[in-house]
Structure 1
Amino acid sequence: MDLISLTCILSSVILNASAQLLLKAGINAVGYFEFSVTNIVPISLRLVSQWPIIGGLACYSVSVIVWILGLSRVDVSIAYPMLSLGYIINAAVAWYLFSETISSQKLVGIAIILLGVVVLVHS
């Protein structure tokens, strides 16, 4: 995989992970809510007025474009598993920003993901 291809794939992964984190920040600002027919419109308006949610959706949009650019250069059997790096990014940043716990089982899973990505990149 050349540098441009790797940059496209990793940029898309980072944008996708950022989108998830922004969506989480936005929903944290809204708080827990019950889904019902009567509150679909008010909750929807609250959700779409949150800047982190708007930013998350924008990151998703850009990540899809960059992902398509990456797929034009890399086999999907190599590119798609690289998305798993998003789990690692999200786990680390969620631990830092949202005080989510990272158990020893999660750390083992993260290590397995990293090993798999390294094997794929070098294949």
Structure 2
Amino acid sequence: MKYIVFILFTVLTNAIAQLMLKQGMMTMGPLTFTLETAVARIFQVVFNPWIFAGIVLFVASLASHLFVLSKVELSFAYPFLSLAYVVVVVFGYFIFAEDLNAWRIAGIGFICLGTILVARSGTDTKDVRPQNTAQLSALHEGAGE
């Protein structure tokens, strides 16, 4: 649990980036592309302030996730990213008036339960780097199968 703050930072920045992208696309309206306007339209989308901020936040989330992956096992860190879905659903309900029905609430409950089980597994302190060349060779051989 030593790196949980970084994991949660990754989750929150990922979720907030999604919300920013949604807000940006809502301000853009439905997208239509023609061959003549495709490049200009792509630039309009990318440089929309909300979308641009969302992309920047995704980069911050990616940097944080890379740091986390250098410290903990992938099988420990990655399941936490599902919490971004929980954050997006809750904020989508309050900010964008999106549907929050019993099925989604049940799904959120299962996601939270699964994340708690992964967190309690306690494998976040294991050093993820191979300690010697034999371990490194075993990793490469396993990847080639």
- CA offsets, 1:53-79, max 9 Å, x none? 111011011111111111111110010
RMSD: 1.0
Hey, which of these two has a bigger chunk of helix by percent? 1
TM-score, normalized by length of structure 1?
A: 0.93
- CA offsets, 1:6-33, max 9 Å, x none? 0111101111111111011001000002
Determine what percentage of the aligned residue pairs are the same residue: 31
Q: Which has the larger radius of gyration?
A: 2
Q: Provide the C-alpha distance between the structure 2 equivalents of 1:92 and 1:33, rounded to a whole number of angstroms.
A: 26
Structure 1 residue 42, shift from structure 2 partner: 2.8
Q: Provide the C-alpha distance between the structure 2 equivalents of 1:40 and 1:21, rounded to a whole number of angstroms.
A: 24
Choose from 38, 41, 44 the match for 2:42: 44
* Unmatched 5+ stretches in structure 2: 122-145
* Unmatched 5+ stretches in structure 1: none
Q: Provide the C-alpha distance between the structure 2 equivalents of 1:117 and 1:68, rounded to a whole number of angstroms.
A: 19
| Pair 1:90-2:88 in alignment | yes
SS in 2 for 1:36: coil
1:44 aligned partner, one-letter code: I
TM-score, normalized by length of structure 2?
A: 0.80
2:95 aligned partner, one-letter code: L
Choose from 107, 110, 113 the match for 1:112: 110
